[in-house]
Amino acid sequence: MDARALLSFIDASPSPFHACATVAARLEAEGYREVSDHSAFPTDPGRYVLRRGGSLVAWAVAPQHQAADGFRIIGAHTDSPNLRLRPHPDTGGYGYRQLAVEVYGGALLNSWLDRDLGLSGRIVVRGPHGPVTQLILIDRPIARVPQLAIHLDREVSTTGLLLNPQEHLRPIWGLGDHHQGEVADVVAAEAGLSVDSILGMDLMLHDLTPSTFIGEHQDLISAPRLDNLCSSWAGMEALVAATDPAAPTTAQIPILALFDHEEVGSSSDRGAASPLLEAVTERIGLALGGGRDEHRRALAASWCCSADMAHATHPNYPERHEPGHIIDLDGGPVLKINSNQRYATDALSGAVFVVACEQANVPLQRYAHRGDLPCGSTIGPITATRMGIATFDVGAPQLAMHSARELCAADEPIRYARAMTAFLAPA
C-alpha cells in the first residue's frame, strides 16, 4: 500500500459515481467480477462487486464459507458536501453567465470561494432499451465563485463572513448573456452526444487543485473529499489485501459497503438506510444454499466497521475539543464513542477494533465529543439499526472536515488500511 495511490484515487473521484467507478475498476483488476442486482447472484465461490448509482458493495466468498458464518463489513461513504447544479442551471446577469447551484450537505461555504472549479457527475441518455447512465468529467477550470472585495464587505473582519446559499454562491462561468440550455449543450458536446438524447443530469462542481503531500517534511496530505474517500480507499485496500488469493481464507465473508447520501442523512434507494446491504447479505446466503434462519444467524454473528473520518484536535481551537480526549493528527486510527448513540461503538464492538489495531501493530486513539456541542453522526448507527449488526465507528484523524480542501497526516491512511485489513482477516 502506498499513500500516493490515495491521492490519485481522490483526484479520479470527484463525484460519488466516479468514486464507485474507481473502486470497481481497482477491484476488477484484482479479479472481482461485477454483478447486477437484477440478475441472479452467482452460486460459485468468488469475488464480486455490485454498483447502484453512487453506492457499491463488494464481497468475496471462499469455498469454505457457509451461509450462517456471518460477515465482516467495512462501511464508508462516497459523497462529500459540494455545490450541485439545479435542474435549470442556466442563469446570469450584469454581463455574466452563471450556474444555478444548490448546496449539497453541510459544506463549509467559504471554502468554495475563489477556487477554479470543474464539473462532474452523470447524465442519463436514451439507449436502445431505455435510459442508460454515462459518467461526465470536465477536469478543466470552467467556473469560479469570486468572493466580495473587502472594501464592499467591511464587516467581514469583525462579524465574519456570512454567505447566503441562494444569493452568494452562483459560480461565474463566462461573460455575456446566458441562454437556456447552454449547460446541456456543453455537457452534450463533452459526451459526444446530441443534446436531445440527454434525459437527465446529476452534476456537481469540484476543486481542481491536485491532491498533494505538503509540509517541510511532506508529512501532511492536502486533498479534497478526505471525508470520506480516505475511508473508502482504505476499505478498498483492506478488502484487496484480505482477499488476495495468496492470503489465508477469512473465517467470515468480507464485505466492503460504500454508500452515497451520508452527508444528507442516508435515506435514499442506495444510502445506508436503504435495503441495499441487507439485500446483498441475504442474497449471498441464499446463493450459498441458506434460508431465512441462516440469514438471521449470519447477521447475529457479523461485525460492522463503520469508517468515517474523525476530528483531530485543532491547534488553533483546542477549547472546541473534549480535553480528556485529545486526538493527534498523526496518532493512529480513532475509535469514536458516544453514549447517546451518535456513534454505534460500545465496549464489546469496540474491542474488535482494539484487537485489529493490536494485530496490525498500529496505535489507537479514542474520540469523544464535548458535552456542550452537538455531536455529528455517520452510517454506523444507521446500519446497526437497519440490520441489527454489532457495529463500531472508526475514522482517520483529519482537520478542516467539510472544507473543499481537507488535511490529514501522510502516514495515517496506511495505518487505517492496515487496521481494517486486520479486522477483515483476524489472526
List interacting residues with Zn ion (CB under 5 A): 227-228, 308
Query: Is the separation of the CB atoms in 357 and 270 below 8 Å?
Result: no
Q: Are strands 310-311 and 397-399 parallel, antiparallel or unpaired?
A: parallel
If the CB atoms of residues 297 and 314 are measured against Zn ion, the closer one turns out to be: 314
* Nearest CB to Zn ion, comparing residues 69 and 308: 308
Residue 407 CB, shortest distance to Zn ion, in Å, is: 15
| 3 vs 229 by CB, closer to Zn ion | 229
CA nearest to 65, candidates 44, 49, 50: 44
DSSP 8-state assignment for residue 249: P
* Rounded Cα distance, 346 and 33, in Å: 35
Task: Please state, in angstroms and rounded to a whole number, the distance separating the CA atoms of residues 338 and 346.
Answer: 9
Specify whether the CB–CB gap between 23 and 258 falls below 8 A.
yes
- Output 125 or 258, the one with its CB closest to Zn ion: 258
Measuring CA to CA, which residue among 245, 373, 387 is closest to residue 304?
A: 387
Pick from 400, 81, 360: which is nearest to 220 by CA? 400
- What is the distance between the alpha carbons of residues 409 and 328, in angstroms, rounded to a whole number? 10
CB of 310 to Zn ion, least distance (A): 10
Is residue 298 within 8 Å of residue 281, measured between CB atoms? yes
Residue whose CB is less far from Zn ion, 45 or 105: 105
Q: How far is the CB of 396 from Zn ion (least distance, A)?
A: 11
Q: From 252, 257, 254, select the one nearest 241 (Cα to Cα).
A: 254
Residues 159, 142 contacting (CB under 8 angstroms): no
Report the Cα–Cα distance between both ends of the chain, in Å, rounded.
20
Is residue 415 classed as helix, strand or coil in its secondary structure? helix
Determine the Cα–Cα distance for residues 208 and 195; give it in Å rounded to an integer.
Answer: 26
| 211 versus 398: smaller Cβ distance to Zn ion | 398
CA angle, corner 342, sides to 270 and 373, nearest 5?
125
Beta carbon of residue 332, minimum distance to Zn ion (angstroms, whole number): 19
DSSP string, 286-298: HHTT--HHHHHHH
CB of 228 to Zn ion, least distance (A): 4
The nearer residue to Zn ion, 19 or 60, going by C-beta atoms, is 19
Rounded CA-CA distance 221/151 in Å is 34
Contact between 20 and 265 under an 8 Å Cβ cutoff? The reply is no
Please, which residue, 394 or 414, has the CB nearer to Zn ion? 394
- The dihedrals phi and psi of 158, each to the nearest 5 degrees, come to -110, -55
Q: How far is the CB of 364 from Zn ion (least distance, A)?
A: 20
Q: How far is the CB of 13 from Zn ion (least distance, A)?
A: 14
For Zn ion, the closer CB: 16 or 171: 16
* Minimal distance, residue 262 CB to Zn ion, in Å: 6
Residue 226 in 3-state DSSP? helix
Q: Which is nearer to Zn ion, 227 or 393 (CB)?
A: 227
Q: Are 372 and 68 in contact (CB under 8 A)?
A: no
Instruction: Report the residue number, 98 or 232, with the smaller CB distance to Zn ion.
Output: 232
Shortest Cβ 371–Zn ion spacing (Å): 22
- The CB-of-368 to Zn ion minimum distance in angstroms stands at 18
Using N-to-C axis directions, what is the helix angle for 3-11 and 412-424, rounded to 10°?
A: 100
Contact 373, 71 (CB under 8 A): no
Tell me how far, at minimum, the Cβ of 193 lies from Zn ion, in Å.
34
